[in-house]
Amino acid sequence: MNPAANLVTDLVEDLRTGFDRSFGEPPRRQIGEVDELLALCAGGRPYVLRLSETAGLFSDRPVTALPGPAPALLGVAGFSGAIVPVYDLSTLLGGSGPGPQAPRWLVLASGAPALALAFDELDGHLRVPVDTIIAETDGHAPRSRLRGMVPMPGGTRPIIHVPSVRAAVHAINATGPPEPDRPSEGEW
């Protein structure tokens, strides 16, 4: 046998032994708890949201516009055979509303009924140690959709609390559209 073949045989044997040995070792544990976050921009402002509060992330999904009085409602989109309402995240967070271009990204909020939130830019996925998250003090406003902050190299970002955003959407839908102006009897 030539020396190159012996080298390959030895390397393969070392890899096989290491692979087999790895099953006998206890599983590795992460030191400290981490929070999985999604960094994004909505309405030109940077935010993060917890992946545990979402059910999926989609790009360039077509949204069919719907007429209606709620400026945050962009329309509906299809997800695995279900028709889901899509709301502009910037508007729900108090921004001026959707820009001239439709938001590129949709995130499905976890829970039922299904709800999608649209935003402009995806900055990435983060694993942040829980002890670095700046928790909000007790007594937050019940209508607050932001809960806590995350320090990042580009600056501190507020954390979107998806259940509060969902509650805001339900509140918008519960109040319903404004009553149309009814003509007086003489105007018929």
Write out the DSSP string of 93-131. TT-S---SSPPSEEEEESSSS--EEEESEEEEEEEEEGG
Q: What is the CATH number of domain 34-175?
A: 2.40.50.180
Average pLDDT, the chain: 82
Kindly report the number of other CB atoms within 10 A of residue 69's CB atom: 11
**Which tens digit of pLDDT belongs to each residue from 130-166?**
888 887 765 555 558 888 899 988 889 999 999 999 9
Q: Which pLDDT belongs to residue 26? A: 73
Is pLDDT above 60 for 111?
yes
Q: Give the residue, 187 or 11, on which the prediction is more confident.
A: 11
Q: Which pLDDT belongs to residue 58? A: 95
Rounded Cα distance between 100 and 4, Å, is 63
**Which tens digit of pLDDT belongs to each residue from 12-67?**
888 888 888 877 777 665 567 888 999 999 988 999 999 999 999 999 999 999 88
Percentage of the chain modeled with pLDDT above 90: 40
**Minimal CA–CA distance to 145: which of 105, 85, 75, 94?**
94
Q: Give the residue, 23 or 105, on which the prediction is more confident.
A: 105
Domain ranges in the chain are 34-175
- pLDDT, mean of residues 156-179: 81
